[in-house]
Structure formats: structure tokens, C-alpha cells
Amino acid sequence: MRAAAGPAPAQTAVSPLRKTIAERMTASLRSTAPVTLTTTADASNLVSLRNQFKTAAASGDDVIPGYTDFLVKLAAAALQKHPLLSARWTNAEITPSTSLDIGIAVDTERGLLVPVVRNAPNLSMRQVAASTRDLAERARGGTLQSSEMQGGVFTITNLGAFGVDAFTPIINYPQCAILGVGRIQRRPVASDDRIMICEQVTLSLTFDHRIVDGAPAARFLQTLSQMLENPGPWLMP
């Protein structure tokens, strides 16, 4: 006996924002040559460092950086070593970026928005955390200005809170690359013939193959992973 079918879902009108998101996603896939690389990094030191920020903020009002905040700083540092990942294709030339403004994907009730953290290399971790919190709150509250979503050279999207390990993010065109961040999870790792339990995170880098080839993109991802595994020296402004 077949179960009775549930009520059909109601049709939903396409909002202006949903239409803009659809147009931008389609333009990205139509205008780029996207390739995704994934790697797993040891996030044990990053977890420990965030716990130190938590402890320091326990008796005060300091903003506690989230993992996306740390990745904003680390990605900016890695882009300084691999500037092609922040360049743009203009048919006539590949144009390097003049500043490292990093976009962060924010999930809102109205749809996905990508506000931009300006001049990330020169911000302290607390300044990055305060900036991302302000941008995310105003994005969800509908008070974000369009200018605050323009000019980014690289985007970070984090789905770790939803239990996602790896995915294939779509480039925020006309940028060259986007970094997908998965959940941080304790997993067994073989090291020197021993099994250790470490905090592991999967990074997914989608890049435009017109601008950068696979090996340089892999080197960027390798640099970023190394920075993530030993984050302290790379987080100073």
C-alpha cells in the first residue's frame, strides 16, 4: 500500500536578490574555467589558538574570532606569496590586485551575500573578527550597502557548521578563486608509524584555470595549509 502523498510545495516568487544570485552564478560558470582542488590540513594549533582567544575574552567584551576570521588573515598572507590567485582576467591581460580585500559568504534569509573585509593584511585578528561580525549582522538585517560587497579579490565560504567536509564552491566572478572550508573534526592520523587523533579540516579551492594553472594553484593551497597548521606567525598585522 502506497503512502499518501504530502501536500505539494507552494510556488515561490523569484525575488530580485535570488535573481541576481542566479545571474551571477550562471555568469561565473559561463565565463570561467573552474577547477577544484581539495586537501586536508591539521587544524590542531588553530583550534588551540582560538581557545586561547576564548580564555582571554572570558572576563571582557572582546570579540572572539571564528575560524572564518582566521582564514581571512591566512588567505591574505598566502595571496601575498601567490598573487595570481587574486588577479582578474580581462581578455587583453591578467590584472593583479592592488589590495587584498577578502569576501566572506554570509547565509541570510533572503539569500547568499558576500560582504568584503577591506585591507585584511593590516588588520589585527580582533579587528577582522569585529569587521566580519558587523558585516554579517548587517547582511542578515538587510542594512548592508552594495558598495560593501564590491571590490573583493578572493572569497571564503565556510559550511563547516552544517557538518560539510568538502564541496565545490562557485567562483565569485570576476574573482579568480574561492576557498571552501569544511568542518573541523577529530580524526585518526598516521604519523611515524603511530596513530594520533588530530583536528582535521578539508579545504576546497576552486580557481579559474584561464588565469592560473593547476600546479601554481596547488602551491597556493599547500602554502595556505602550512600556514593553517602553524598559524601564529601569520596572524600579525
- DSSP letter at 90 equals -
What are the phi and psi torsion angles at 154 (to 5°)?
-165, 145
The angle at the Cα of 159, spanning 43 to 117, to the nearest 5 degrees, equals 85
The C-alpha atoms of residue 137 and residue 72 are separated, in whole angstroms, by 17
- Which residues are catalytically annotated? 209, 213
> Checking DSSP bridges between strand 177-191 and strand 154-158, what pairing results, if any?
parallel
CB 92 within 8 A of CB 86: no
Cα–Cα nearest to 75, from 97, 60, 91, 95: 97
